Amino acid sequence: MDIHPPWQRPSVVYHSQRLAHSFHHWTGGQLVPAAEATAMAHQMFVAPFVLLSHGLEADPILNYGNQAALDLWQTDWEQLTRMPSRLTAEPTERQARAQQLTQATAAGCIENYRGIRITRTGRRFLIENATIWDVLDEAGDRCGQAAKFSDWMWLESD
């Protein structure tokens, strides 16, 4: 187990750059202010918005979640980064989620996404105004998908 905070790990710093560059490619915006790579990774990890991504496996596995995502999904880095991303939605919501991800793939990016998600412990919440985009590698090839949102609310009391 790595004792360093996730944002200090070279692989996470590298992935954070891909997230930022891909977000800018698709939206023209910045996830966080431009900075040196490790500083940018730290800014993204402690940002006041939820940021997470998954790879391109047949059943995509989450490969990044900032602290806001870890808190919202009530999990830690090691658990999150082993979780199939489909498990962020309850079974009844997975088809609608998959359709939205397919639309994002076709367009490269979608904005104003809205959907119901579920935490690792079973709490349901609604996300709104999310941006979903394709993560690109240095050659411009698709290597995953990411989502960013600030608007969410619990759907029932704890």
Of the two residues 157 and 14, the one the predictor is more confident about is: 14
The Cα–Cα gap between 83 and 126 comes to 20
Contact 35, 16 (CB under 8 A): no
Q: Residue 1: is its pLDDT beyond 60?
A: no
> Considering the chain, what percentage of its residues have pLDDT values greater than 90?
80
E strand intervals along 17-150: 50-54, 62-65, 109-118, 124-136, 142-149
Average pLDDT over residues 41-51: 97
**Could you report the per-residue pLDDT of 86-142, keeping only the tens digit for each?**
999 888 888 888 888 788 878 889 999 999 999 988 999 999 999 999 999 999 999
**Could you report the per-residue pLDDT of 131-142, keeping only the tens digit for each?**
999 999 999 999
pTM of the full structure: 0.91
Distance of CA 5 to the CA centre of its chain: 18
**Could you report the per-residue pLDDT of 16-41, keeping only the tens digit for each?**
999 999 999 999 999 999 889 999 99
Question: Going from the N-terminus, what domains does the chain have, and what CATH number goes with each?
Answer: 6-154 (3.30.450.20)
The Cα–Cα gap between 97 and 113 comes to 10
